């Protein structure tokens, strides 16, 4: 099929669990796991006569996310009921937003492998309640747990602006980074906090004519790997299918497929877009939401610098590599910690190295973020400055970092206590160099020979000086003295 | 003696109980004696709770004996329509699907009644899920009109109205979606008030048409309706459509109740009223004369959209109902079919077995009105007409304090008379429905008897949140007439 | 005259509403609902092009609750009315189509 020219077209529908303390319409605590039906009440079981009341925090989290996605916030929204029967949906309707979503027409900027970024347009953002969970491990029966029912769920729908599996993955990762920056979701994929549903088809050019393959929606993907792999699989599958059948997109031939993670294939779930009739209508139990300028301003003040913006700034202002900037901006705490240290006057690359080489290892062991090791940004900056000035060696800076995390003391205090300050006093070092040169005439001769042995001999002499000073000499200064003496 | 006690108003009884001249236990025993004597015939109650009631009565009597303060309904036996959830017994909604349902919570109004020291004695019969105008749609039992055991008590709060009329309780709660408090109150010769939408919390009221449903009192007289309103009205944060006290402060509905409204202007809609029976029209004319004699001015107005209320109502109410009743599916609670072939049959068979004909009919109609391709023509159209109806009221209330019209076009009809013709049954709601569509308060008070000695109801409607004035206007009439003191005579 | 809602439509709607109607009910509902729909057609006498739909009578908006935890039901109470349960799960015949339609 390689002779066919084609373009991959993918749009995403994403569901994100919001990290509120309680459910969307009742006060049940949101806890992952736990005994089945232990976090339920008459409202989320859908018992007779009980009524929903909207969680303000959930609404504000949704607004915050929509603002971060550059959306236009609606002046007026309402709640609608979407009707369908399913055991995990106790009222047999889902409270959602239909024709007046809380936000529309935004975009998300995603980083590409090339180092560039791309804007993917967002069609709409709306809030709805999640359903419970059905499990099918009881032989002829299914078991229903409603602990999850009523969890606030943000639905984000993009335009079909993605053109490769990697772009789809990049969007998923970027969205995770954004919602975590905003603190609106834990976005833990393993706990199902984010679920993705790509709509995939191909624009194939054959003999000068363009054909569109039927759209396939892959349901409920909950890992970045599955998102990327399923799109890649669909591309191959749709190419093969087109070659075989020549079928093209037509009204009503959108199909739904599931992802078989083990065999890495998509599996047909529903051949034809069934004529779903959800009978949406305004929920009479809830009143509309009207946006005020004052409220919106308050929410806007809670926005932070977005990860992609920070990442770009670290590259342009701090001259970090793409890779380093990406690592540092993966989490908001790390990025802000790094940024604060640099703003305290330290060299960016040096802070970056301290964090990525030593700090993250420590944080990993401690099971926390590097910013939570108990080290202040000022002390981190100080440490970086000491290393930059040659007051301490690279090995010593790692040791001091670890001690800082342990003792919360300042780096200069630790360096003094552990005797890790390097000697840079040229006068003092010169006398040590002289002693070493005098004791090693052969090496001096080799070093001065200019031949093959020069490098090795110089290294040997430097090593002797370091040994004599118990490693406290600044190797740069020693090297300079050696240069002078040996030339 | 018992009769004398049962003829007391809630307020009189409460005063005697708090004064220590009558005990609550005596009142409860008298009520249960009446229930035991009559309810086999009348069928007002789905369930009664004598032991619980006596226990509660004893507690209140002890409170009073020890000089503790008590609530405004201290020791008064009150009945509740069985579509309000109680954390004791069953809440059936008159349906097989909820026949054994035990709510683990109380409706807001139940909490309010308890806090007022009322004694809850039982739960009354209703049309299944409050869908009906005769209480004949109850799947659990039949309720008869205490004035004529061959006639219906009206509906859907037929059990509450019959219980009050037959003095099997001192007051009751009903719910009104399209007239379900007022119409049975009219048929049974008692007082029924539907408050403004949002005035009384719907929390714990099993929903029928959520944008129309409202709980209200059914009582023997206007004063008791005011007393009940004092107890049940007010904001509840568990109901998003419950109005805040800022928007509409709660007030003391008993205050100034006996003072006439000066310069009262009453609007009537002659063209609309012309559809009523001659008996009913005559009673209406006499009632207006009473008001005229009290100095009221009668203004004739046109409200051109009232004629469309039934059509709009039966689309909106059934659409909402089709969704509200989706939850009764045999999965989490309620009736489940035996041996379903698969999980889909749990739904379709449980619902087919659990719902009666009228409920199925309305669910089908409502589902149709919301379904793809019909939404705009039916549901949306009805919402627009609803707006026009509300505008009619807004205009009228610029000229008048209230509107008076019949509660129903006829007095109580015979059992079985309309049950086979749903449209005819729906048309019987012609005068009551508009208040629900516009969210307005409306009251039905007795205003006469027809030739067959059946009560006639007079309906008064007023602007949103003017229940206080509405009650005063009703009380003006009651103060000059004796209809509310007429009681059914049983020929058992 | 053709019925406003014929038996096929009644069956379609009943399926949407998960009501297993008998043939007799389908026939009766078709007749009765056609009469009712015929009656509601009178709404079309009114020009409502410039009229806003009125879903809520109250001019209320922005009713929220704070994100504060309230006690959940005891699991036993939550399951008390369940026709069938397994351990603390609600139990239903096996769900075959995994897609909920959501």
Rg, Å, chain A Cα set: 30
Q: Would you state the pLDDT for residue B189?
A: 97
Q: Would you state the pLDDT for residue A3?
A: 67
Q: What is the pLDDT of residues A68-119, one digit of tens each?
A: 999 999 999 999 999 999 999 999 999 999 999 999 999 999 989 887 899 9
Q: What is the pLDDT of residues A267-284, one digit of tens each?
A: 888 766 556 799 999 999
Q: Compare CB distances from B331 to C15, C58, C92 and report the shortest one's residue.
A: C92
Tell me the ipTM for this assembly.
Answer: 0.94
Closest CA to B17 of B100, B74, B82: B74
CA separation for the pair B127, A389 (Å, rounded)? 88
DSSP alpha helix (H) spans, A104-149: none
Which fold, A426-486?
Answer: Arc Repressor Mutant, subunit A (1.10.10)
CA separation for the pair B336, B328 (Å, rounded)? 9
Q: What is the pLDDT of residues A398-407, one digit of tens each?
A: 888 888 888 8
Q: Compare CB distances from B334 to C15, C81, C96 and report the shortest one's residue.
A: C81
Determine which helix (DSSP H) or strand (DSSP E) holds A134, and give its type and residue range.
strand A133-138
Confidence of residue C69 (pLDDT cuts 50, 70, 90): very high
What is the SS3 string spanning chain B? CHHHHHCCCHHHHHHHHHHCCCCHHHHHHHHHHHHHHHHHHHCCEEEECHHHHHHHHHHHHHHHHCCCCCCCCCCCEEEEECCECCCCCCCCCCCCCCCCCCCCCCCHHHHHHHHCCCEEEEEECCCHHHCCCCCCCCCCCCCCECCECCECCCCCCHHHHHHHHCCCCCEEEEEECCCCCHHHHHHHCCEEEECCCCCCCCCCECCCCCCCCEEEEEECCHHHHHHHHHHHCCCCCCCCCCCCCCCCCCCCCCCCCCCCCCCCEEEECHHHHCCCCHHHHHHHHHHHHHHHHCCCEEEECCCCCHHHHHHHHHHHHHHHHHHHHHHCCCCCCCCCCCCCCCHHHHHHHHHHHHCCHHHHHHHHHHHHHHCCCCCHHHHHHHHHHHHHHHHHHHHHHHHCCEEEEECCCCCCCECCCCCCCHHHHHHCCCCCHHHHHHCCCEEEEEEEECCCCCEEEEEEECCCCCHHHHHHHHHHHHHHCCHHHCCCCCCC
A217, A198 Cβ separation under 8 angstroms: yes
Q: Which CATH architecture has domain B2-266+399-485?
A: Alpha-Beta Complex (3.90)
CA separation for the pair A291, A284 (Å, rounded)? 20
Determine which helix (DSSP H) or strand (DSSP E) holds A408, and give its type and residue range.
none
Residue with tokens 């929509």, as numbered in its chain: A66
Q: Exposed, middle or buried, A259 (CB in 10 Å: 0-12/13-18/19+)?
A: buried
Chains contacting B (3+ CB pairs below 8 angstroms): A, C
Task: Tell me: pLDDT of B432 over 90.
Answer: yes
Give mean pLDDT, residues A7-23.
96
A79-93, A103-117, A459-473, B7-21: least confidently modelled range? A459-473
Q: Exposed, middle or buried, A369 (CB in 10 Å: 0-12/13-18/19+)?
A: middle
A349-363, B81-95, B176-190: least confidently modelled range? A349-363
Q: What is the pLDDT of residues A280-320, one digit of tens each?
A: 999 999 999 999 999 999 999 999 999 999 999 999 999 88
Residues of chain A with CATH 1.10.10.410: 426-486
Orientation of helix A454-468 relative to helix A426-439, angle to 10°: 120
Instruction: Please tell me which residue of chain B has the smallest CA distance to C27.
Output: B361
Confidence of residue A414 (pLDDT cuts 50, 70, 90): confident
Task: Tell me: pLDDT of A381 over 70.
Answer: yes
Rg, Å, chain C Cα set: 22
Contacts with B101 from chain A: Cβ below 8 Å? 48
Orientation of helix A475-486 relative to helix A426-439, angle to 10°: 60
Q: Would you state the pLDDT for residue A129?
A: 97
A91 part of contact set with chain C, CB < 8 Å: no
A322-326, B9-13, B302-306: least confidently modelled range? A322-326
Residue A78: both structure tokens together: 């309402």
CA separation for the pair C95, C74 (Å, rounded)? 26
Rg, Å, chain B Cα set: 21
Chains contacting C (3+ CB pairs below 8 angstroms): A, B
Q: Which of C3, C17, C27, C49 should we substitute to test contact with B (largest number of B Cβ atoms within 10 Å)?
A: C17
C-alpha dihedral, A53 to A55 to A56 to A57, nearest 10°: 180
DSSP 8-state assignment for residue A355 = I
Residue B480: both structure tokens together: 């000059």
C68 part of contact set with chain B, CB < 8 Å: no
Q: Would you state the pLDDT for residue A426?
A: 67
Contacts with C15 from chain B: Cβ below 8 Å? 348
Closest CA to A62 of A20, A118, A109, A6: A20
B257, B222 Cβ separation under 8 angstroms: yes
Determine which helix (DSSP H) or strand (DSSP E) holds A110, and give its type and residue range.
strand A103-111
The residues facing B298 across adjacent strands are B266
Q: Exposed, middle or buried, B65 (CB in 10 Å: 0-12/13-18/19+)?
A: exposed
Q: What is the pLDDT of residues B22-78, one digit of tens each?
A: 999 999 999 999 999 999 999 999 999 999 999 999 999 999 999 999 999 999 999
Q: Would you state the pLDDT for residue A247?
A: 85
Q: Would the CA dihedral through A174, A179, A185, A186 be positive or negative?
A: positive
Determine which helix (DSSP H) or strand (DSSP E) holds A479, and give its type and residue range.
helix A475-486
CB contact under 8 A, B343 and A91: no
Chains contacting A (3+ CB pairs below 8 angstroms): B, C
Residue B388: both structure tokens together: 């026009």
B454, B279 Cβ separation under 8 angstroms: no
Residue with tokens 């363009």, as numbered in its chain: A210
The residues facing B127 across adjacent strands are none
C-alpha dihedral, C45 to C51 to C54 to C59, nearest 10°: -150
CA separation for the pair A87, A89 (Å, rounded)? 5
Alpha-carbon gap: C88 to the closest alpha carbon of chain B (Å): 12
Q: Would you state the pLDDT for residue C102?
A: 43
Task: Tell me: pLDDT of B356 over 80.
Answer: yes
CA separation for the pair B22, B61 (Å, rounded)? 9
* Neighbouring residues of A237: CB distance < 8 A, sequence distance ≥ 6: A265, A266
Residue C12: both structure tokens together: 């379609």
Q: Would you state the pLDDT for residue B36?
A: 96
Alpha-carbon gap: A381 to the closest alpha carbon of chain B (Å): 52
Q: Would you state the pLDDT for residue A365?
A: 85
Q: Which of residues 467-486 of B touch A (CB under 8 A)?
A: none
CA separation for the pair C21, C15 (Å, rounded)? 9
Q: Exposed, middle or buried, A296 (CB in 10 Å: 0-12/13-18/19+)?
A: middle
The residues facing A290 across adjacent strands are A76
Alpha-carbon gap: A275 to the closest alpha carbon of chain C (Å): 11
Alpha-carbon gap: C52 to the closest alpha carbon of chain B (Å): 6
**Distance from first CA to last CA of chain B, Å, rounded?**
21
Phi, psi angles (nearest 5°) of residue A22? -120, 175
Task: Tell me: pLDDT of C99 over 60.
Answer: no
Q: Exposed, middle or buried, B487 (CB in 10 Å: 0-12/13-18/19+)?
A: middle
Task: Tell me: pLDDT of B99 over 80.
Answer: yes
Closest CA to B126 of B148, B169, B155: B155
**Distance from first CA to last CA of chain A, Å, rounded?**
68
Q: Would you state the pLDDT for residue C62?
A: 94
Which fold, C7-44?
Answer: Histone, subunit A (1.10.20)
Domain ranges of chain C: 7-44
CB contact under 8 A, A134 and C67: no
Contacts with C58 from chain B: Cβ below 8 Å? 197-198, 241, 243, 439
Q: Where are the beta strands (DSSP E) in A182-310?
A: 194-206, 209-212, 216-218, 255-260, 265-270, 281-282, 289-290
What is the pTM for the complete model shown? 0.91
């Amino acid at each position: 099929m390689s002779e066919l020219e084609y373009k991959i077209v993918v749009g995403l529908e994403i569901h994100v669990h919001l990290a509120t303390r309680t459910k969307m319409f009742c006060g049940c605590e949101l806890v992952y796991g736990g005994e089945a039906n232990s976090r339920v009440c008459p409202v989320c079981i859908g018992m007779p006569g009980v009524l929903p009341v909207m969680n303000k925090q959930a609404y504000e989290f949704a607004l915050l996310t929509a603002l971060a996605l550059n959306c236009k916030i609606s002046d007026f929204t309402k709640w609608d009921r979407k009707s369908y029967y399913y055991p995990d949906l106790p009222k047999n309707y889902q409270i959602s937003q239909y024709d007046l979503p809380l936000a529309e027409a935004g975009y998300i900027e995603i980083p590409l492998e090339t180092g560039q970024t791309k804007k993917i347009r967002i069609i709409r953002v709306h809030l709805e309640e999640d359903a419970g969970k059905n499990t099918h491990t009881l032989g002829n029966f299914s078991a229903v747990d409603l602990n999850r029912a009523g969890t606030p769920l943000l639905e984000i729908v993009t335009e079909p602006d993605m053109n490769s599996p990697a772009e789809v993955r990049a969007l998923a990762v970027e969205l995770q980074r954004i919602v975590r920056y905003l603190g609106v979701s834990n976005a833990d994929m393993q706990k199902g906090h984010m679920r993705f549903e790509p709509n995939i088809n191909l624009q194939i050019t054959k003999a000068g004519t363009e054909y569109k393959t039927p759209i396939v929606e892959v349901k409920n993907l909950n890992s970045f790997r599955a998102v990327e792999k399923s799109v890649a699989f669909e591309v191959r599958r749709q190419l093969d299918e087109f070659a075989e059948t020549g079928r093209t997109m037509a009204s009503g031939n959108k199909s739904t497929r599931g992802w078989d993670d083990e065999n890495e294939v998509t599996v047909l779930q529903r051949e034809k877009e069934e004529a779903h009739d959800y009978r949406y209508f305004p929920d009479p139990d809830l009143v509309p939401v009207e946006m005020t300028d004052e409220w919106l301003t308050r929410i806007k003040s809670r926005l932070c610098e977005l990860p992609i913006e920070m990442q770009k700034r670290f590259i342009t202002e701090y001259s970090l590599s793409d890779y380093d900037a990406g690592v540092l901006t993966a989490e908001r705490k790390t990025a802000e910690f790094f940024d604060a240290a640099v703003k305290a006057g330290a060299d960016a690359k040096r802070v970056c190295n301290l964090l990525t080489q030593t700090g993250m290892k420590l944080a990993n062991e401690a099971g926390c973020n590097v910013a939570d090791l108990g080290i202040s940004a000022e002390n981190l900056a100080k440490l970086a400055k000491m290393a930059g000035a040659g007051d301490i060696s690279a090995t010593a800076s790692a040791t001091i970092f670890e001690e800082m995390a342990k003792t919360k003391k300042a780096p200069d205090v630790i360096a003094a206590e552990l005797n890790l300050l390097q000697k840079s006093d040229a006068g003092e070092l010169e006398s040590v160099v002289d002693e070493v040169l005098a004791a090693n005439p052969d090496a001096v001769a080799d070093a001065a020979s200019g031949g093959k042995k020069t490098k090795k001999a110089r290294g040997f002499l430097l090593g002797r000086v370091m040994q004599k000073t118990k490693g406290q000499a600044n190797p740069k200064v020693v090297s300079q003295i050696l240069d002078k003496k040996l030339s | 003696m018992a009769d004398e006690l049962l003829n007391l108003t809630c307020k009189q009884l409460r005063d005697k109980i708090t004064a220590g001249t009558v005990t609550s236990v005596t009142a409860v025993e008298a009520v249960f004696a009446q229930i035991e004597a009559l309810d086999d015939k009348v069928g007002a109650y789905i369930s009664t709770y004598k032991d619980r009631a006596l226990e509660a009565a004893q507690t209140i009597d002890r409170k009073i004996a020890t000089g503790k303060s008590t609530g405004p309904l201290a020791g008064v036996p009150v009945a509740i329509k069985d579509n309000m959830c109680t954390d004791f017994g069953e809440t059936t909604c008159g349906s097989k699907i909820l026949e054994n349902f035990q709510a683990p919570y109380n409706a807001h109004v139940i909490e309010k009644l308890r806090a007022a020291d009322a004694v809850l004695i039982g739960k009354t019969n209703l049309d299944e899920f409050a869908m009906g105008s005769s209480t004949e749609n109850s799947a659990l039992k039949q309720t008869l009109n205490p004035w004529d055991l061959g006639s219906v008590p009206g509906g859907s709060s037929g059990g509450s109205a019959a219980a009050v009329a037959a003095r099997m309780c001192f007051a009751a709660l009903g719910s009104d979606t399209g007239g379900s408090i007022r119409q049975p109150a009219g048929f049974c010769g008692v007082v029924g008030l539907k408050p403004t939408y949002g005035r009384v919390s719907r929390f714990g009221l099993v929903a029928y048409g959520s944008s129309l449903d409202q709980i209200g009192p059914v009582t023997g007289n206007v004063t008791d309706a005011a007393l009940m309103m004092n107890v049940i009205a007010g904001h509840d944060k568990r109901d998003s459509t419950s109005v805040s006290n800022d928007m509409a402060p709660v007030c003391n509905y008993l205050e100034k109740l006996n003072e006439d409204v000066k310069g009262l202007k009453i609007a009537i809609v002659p063209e609309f009223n012309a559809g009523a029976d001659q008996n009913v029209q005559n009673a209406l004319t006499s009632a207006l004369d009473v008001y005229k004699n009290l100095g009221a001015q009668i203004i004739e107005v046109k409200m051109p959209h009232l004629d469309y209320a039934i059509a709009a109502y039966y689309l909106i109410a059934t659409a909402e109902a089709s969704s509200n009743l989706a939850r009764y599916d045999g999965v989490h609670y309620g009736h489940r079919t035996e041996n379903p072939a698969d999980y889909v049959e749990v739904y379709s068979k449980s619902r087919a077995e659990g719902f009666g004909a009228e409920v199925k009919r309305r669910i089908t109609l409502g589902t149709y009105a919301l379904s793809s391709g019909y939404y705009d023509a039916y549901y949306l159209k009805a919402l627009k007409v609803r707006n026009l109806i509300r505008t009619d009221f807004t205009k009228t209330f610029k000229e008048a304090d209230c509107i008076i019209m019949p509660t129903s076009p006829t007095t109580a009809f015979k059992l079985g008379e309309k049950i086979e013709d749903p449209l005819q049954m729906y048309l019987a709601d012609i005068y009551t429905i508009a208040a629900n569509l516009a969210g307005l308060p409306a009251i039905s008070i007795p205003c006469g008897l027809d030739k067959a000695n059946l009560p006639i109801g007079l309906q008064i409607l007023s602007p949103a949140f003017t229940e206080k004035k509405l009650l005063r206007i009703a009380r003006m009439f009651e103060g000059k007439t004796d209809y509310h003191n007429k009681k059914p005579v049983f020929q058992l | 005259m053709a019925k406003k809602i014929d038996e096929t439509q009644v069956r379609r709607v009943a399926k949407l509403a998960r009501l297993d109607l008998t043939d007799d009910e389908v026939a009766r509902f078709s007749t009765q609902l056609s009469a009712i729909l015929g009656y509601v057609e009178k709404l079309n006498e009114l020009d409502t092009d410039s009229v806003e739909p009125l879903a809520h009578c109250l001019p209320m908006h922005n009713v929220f609750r704070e994100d504060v935890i309230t006690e959940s039901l005891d699991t036993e109470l939550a399951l008390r009315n369940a026709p069938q349960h397994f351990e603390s799960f609600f139990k239903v015949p096996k769900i075959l189509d995994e897609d909920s339609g959501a």
